[in-house]
Amino acid sequence: MQSLSDRSVRFLITKLPLRQTIFPGLVVKFNLFFNTDSSNYTIKLDSGKPVLLCYNRLNRIPAFVVFKESFSEDAIREAVGKAIDDRLLDDERSRAIRLACDEVRESFITLAEEILPKHVELTMHMNIWITYFYASVPDREEEPCSICLIECGDDDVVTMLPCAHMFHGNCIRRWLLTTINCPVCRYEMPG
């Protein structure tokens, strides 16, 4: 089996207009949207043509920070870092936290002409796209598909999951419509 995998992460932050609230001080609310795309290309041996298995997941995690007296980057770092948890690698996590702090700081520069607003909420949406790419070329002799228990023939399109287990493309597509776990090892698909 020859295989290749890659991962990329993109960030996009959008700010909503300030809105009045009943809470004293400035409330900064982050909605983190983790969008996971996984693309698994399997090269069919007889044609060299790629076949794609793709699935998407979306998780929304809120993070809240309330400033009553003054702005604190440490509070932003802590709230966003806690919401991100272990969903991102260390350098990606640092980049997301830095972007969040920069956006809030920029908002405060705009608000600096006034006294710290009271009863105001600043809402930001941070979209985080995590994309996984997998490509594999199966060897001629493969084990049977663990879902249908039929051997994978030379003309069959097989798909390898991130955990390295392989299945008929149609079998694993149907399987992943009902669960996000590998049928062999219960590995949870990225996301």
What is residue 94's predicted lDDT score, i.e. its pLDDT? 93
Residue recorded with tokens 């669960």:
179
Rounded Cα gap, residues 103 and 100, in angstroms = 5
Instruction: Answer whether residue 154 is part of any domain.
Output: no
- Asked if 124 and 16 touch (Cβ cutoff 8 Å), the reply is yes
Residue 97, helix vs strand vs coil: helix
Tell me if 167 is assigned to some domain: no
- The answer as to whether 56 is a domain residue is yes
* Distance, CA of 47 to CA of 34 (rounded, Å): 36
Lowest-pLDDT choice from 49-53, 121-125, 149-153: 49-53
Domain enclosing residue 39, as ranges:
2-136
Which comes out higher in pLDDT, residue 183 or 173? Answer: 183
* pLDDT of res. 50: 54
Residues with Cβ within 8 Å of residue 99, at least 6 apart in sequence: 11, 13, 126
Per-residue confidence band for 1, with pLDDT thresholds at 50, 70 and 90: very low
Q: How many domains does the chain have?
A: 1
Q: What is the pLDDT, as a whole number, of residue 49?
A: 54
In a domain, residue 7? The reply is yes
User: Tokens 């009045």 belong to which residue?
Assistant: 20
- Three-state DSSP class for residue 71: coil
Taking only the tens place, the pLDDT of each residue in 4-54 is: 567 788 999 998 888 888 877 778 888 898 887 777 666 555 554 555 555
Pairwise CA distance, residues 6 & 78, whole Å: 29
- Is it the case that residue 154 has pLDDT exceeding 80? no
Predicted local distance difference test score (pLDDT) of residue 34: 87
For residue 157, being part of any structural domain is answered with: no
How far is the C-alpha of 15 from the C-alpha of 34, rounded, in Å? 17
Q: How far is 39 from 144, CA to CA, in rounded Å? A: 23
Q: Domain for residue 70, yes or no?
A: yes
Show Cβ contacts of residue 8 under 8 Å, excluding neighbours closer than 6 positions.
130, 131, 133
Average pLDDT value over all residues in the chain = 77
**Residue 171 resides in a domain:** no
Of 33-47, 83-97, 157-171, which range is least confident? 33-47
Q: In this structure, is residue 147 part of a structural domain? A: no
Q: What is the C-alpha to C-alpha distance for residues 99 and 36, in angstroms, rounded to an integer?
A: 19
